[in-house]
Amino acid sequence: MGVLEELVYHVIRQDFVIKFFALVGLRIISRKLKPQPDAPNPLNLKMNKEITQLTERHVAATYGRYPIALIKGKGMHVWDASGNKYLDFVAGVAVDSLGHCPPRVVQAIRKQAGQLLHVSNWFHIEPQARLAAEITRLSFGNKVFFCNSGTEANEGAIKLARRFYVDQGQKNKTEIITTYKAFHGRTLGAMSATPQEKIQKGFGPLVPSFKYVPFDDIAAMKKAITAKTCAVMVEPIQGESGVNIPDKKYLKELRKLCTKRNVLLILDEIQTGFGRTGHLFAYQGFGAKPDIMTLAKGLGAGVPIGALVMTNRVAKSLGPGTHGSTFGGNPLVCAAALASVDIVGQKDFLKNVRDTGKYFLSRLKELSRKFSIIKEVRGMGLILAIDIDGSSAAVAKDCMEQGILVNSIQPGTLRFIPPLIVSQKNIDTLIRVLTKSLARLS
Ligand SMILES: Cc1ncc(COP(=O)(O)O)c(C=O)c1O
**Structure confidence by residue, pLDDT tens digits, 152-209:** 999 999 999 999 999 999 999 999 999 999 999 999 999 999 999 999 999 999 999 9
Q: Is 268 in the pocket of ligand 1 (CB under 6 A)?
A: yes
- From 179, 184, 233, give the residue whose CB has the most ligand 1 atoms within 8 Å, as the site to mutate: 184
Atom of ligand 1 nearest to the CA of 151: 11
Q: Does this chain's domain 103-345 share its CATH topology with 348-441? A: no
- Cα 331 to averaged position of ligand 1 atoms, centre (Å): 23
Q: Is 235 in the pocket of ligand 1 (CB under 6 A)?
A: yes
Q: Is 183 in the pocket of ligand 1 (CB under 6 A)?
A: yes
d(CA 381, CA 344): 13
- State the pLDDT at residue 441: 85
Q: Is 270 in the pocket of ligand 1 (CB under 6 A)?
A: yes
- Cα 235 to averaged position of ligand 1 atoms, centre (Å): 10
- Cα 305 to averaged position of ligand 1 atoms, centre (Å): 12
**Cβ(96)–Cβ(73) below 8 Å:** yes
- Cα 199 to averaged position of ligand 1 atoms, centre (Å): 13
Q: Is 242 in the pocket of ligand 1 (CB under 6 A)?
A: no
Q: Is 238 in the pocket of ligand 1 (CB under 6 A)?
A: no
Say which CATH architecture domain 348-441 belongs to: Alpha-Beta Complex (3.90)
Residues with Cβ < 8 Å from 397, sequence gap 6 or more?
66
User: How many percent of the chain have pLDDT more than 90?
Assistant: 88
Atom of ligand 1 nearest to the CA of 269: 1
CA 314 to chain centre: 26
Using one digit for the tens of pLDDT, what is the confidence trace for 392-420?
A: 999 999 999 999 999 999 999 999 999 99
Q: Write down the pTM of the prediction.
A: 0.90
- State the pLDDT at residue 42: 43
Could you list the active site residues?
Answer: 183, 268, 297
Question: Where do the structural domains in the chain lie, given as residue ranges?
Answer: 1-39, 103-345, 348-441
Using one digit for the tens of pLDDT, what is the confidence trace for 327-380?
A: 999 999 999 999 999 999 999 999 999 999 999 999 999 999 999 999 999 999
- State the pLDDT at residue 287: 97
Using one digit for the tens of pLDDT, what is the confidence trace for 30-81?
A: 454 443 333 344 445 468 899 999 999 999 999 999 999 999 999 999 999 9
What are φ and ψ of residue 240, in 5° steps? -70, -25
Residue 227 has pLDDT above 70, yes or no: yes
Using one digit for the tens of pLDDT, what is the confidence trace for 296-311?
A: 999 999 999 999 999 9
- State the pLDDT at residue 39: 39
Say which CATH architecture domain 103-345 belongs to: 3-Layer(aba) Sandwich (3.40)
Identify which has the larger pLDDT, 9 or 218.
Answer: 218
Q: What mean pLDDT is reported for the chain?
A: 93
Using one digit for the tens of pLDDT, what is the confidence trace for 268-291?
A: 999 999 999 999 999 999 999 999
Q: Is 334 in the pocket of ligand 1 (CB under 6 A)?
A: no
